[in-house]
């Protein structure tokens, strides 16, 4: 039912939380000059499809590269090369909440690919779809956006937040050691960290 979908989308949008935002990367100031990468856990999943569609609805000619953990290193190196013309990069990485605890590692050669991406010097926004602890493994990212879910409404909510279409007021429901304490969240509109005592 439409009402159920609207409610699911509202919940997903309210859950979006930013816990790092160097240089005010989020929301994106120049989406047309941003490359978007989706890192799916499996070649057989639909992870990232909704994200890619939503980006293309807003930026028809956007560079959107959909990847999965089974791809060989050469394919991932090519993806990094394709970001050369972009001023910034947004990476939507999927990590199922149920499958991990604590530190979360991306599959395949994704960690090495992300290190290569950071080495380019371009600001990278890492979107953790699912397990929020994923961001701990990638401290060189300029921004961290968390959705706490891998469902399609969360993919849509992430894109809306990146494009500045919805306010980001989320606060982390968990402590992410070295990144954020429970109850914290960065308000991109104010560029301040909001502690749980507010």
| Per-residue pLDDT band at 97 (split at 50, 70, 90) | low
CATH T-level fold of 2-194: Rossmann fold (3.40.50)
Question: What is the average per-residue pLDDT within 153-166?
Answer: 97
The pLDDT of residue 162:
98
| Per-residue pLDDT band at 4 (split at 50, 70, 90) | confident
Report the relative pairing of strands 143-146 and 17-21 from DSSP bridges: antiparallel
Whether pTM > 0.75 for this model: the answer is yes
Contact status, residue 114 vs residue 106, Cβ threshold 8 Å: yes
The pLDDT of residue 103:
58
pLDDT at position 94 over 90: yes
How do the domains of the chain map onto residue ranges? 2-194
| Per-residue pLDDT band at 189 (split at 50, 70, 90) | confident
pLDDT at position 197 over 70: no
The pLDDT of residue 100:
45
Return the H-helix or E-strand segment holding 126.
strand 124-130
Return the closest-CA partner of residue 38 out of 65, 71, 73, 18.
Answer: 65
Tokens representing 126 are: 């890492």
């Amino acid at each position: 039912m439409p009402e159920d979908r609207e409610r699911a989308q509202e919940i997903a949008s309210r859950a979006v939380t930013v816990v790092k935002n160097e240089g005010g990367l989020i929301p994106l100031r120049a989406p047309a000059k941003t490359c978007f990468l989706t890192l799916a856990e499996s070649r057989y999943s639909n992870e990232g499809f909704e994200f890619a569609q939503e980006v293309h609805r807003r930026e028809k000619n956007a560079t959107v590269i959909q990847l999965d953990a089974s791809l060989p290193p050469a394919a991932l190196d090519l993806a990094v090369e394709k970001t050369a013309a972009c001023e910034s990069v947004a990476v939507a990485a999927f990590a199922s909440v149920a499958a991990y605890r604590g530190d979360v590692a991306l599959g395949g050669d994704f960690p090495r690919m992300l290190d290569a991406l950071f080495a380019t010097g371009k600001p990278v926004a890492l979107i953790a779809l699912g397990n929020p602890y994923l961001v701990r493994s990638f401290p060189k990212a300029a921004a961290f956006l968390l959705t706490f879910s891998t469902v399609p409404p969360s993919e849509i909510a992430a894109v809306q937040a990146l494009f500045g279409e919805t306010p980001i007021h989320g606060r982390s429901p968990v402590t992410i050691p070295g990144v954020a304490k429970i109850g914290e969240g960065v308000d991109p509109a104010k560029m301040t960290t909001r502690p749980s005592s507010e």
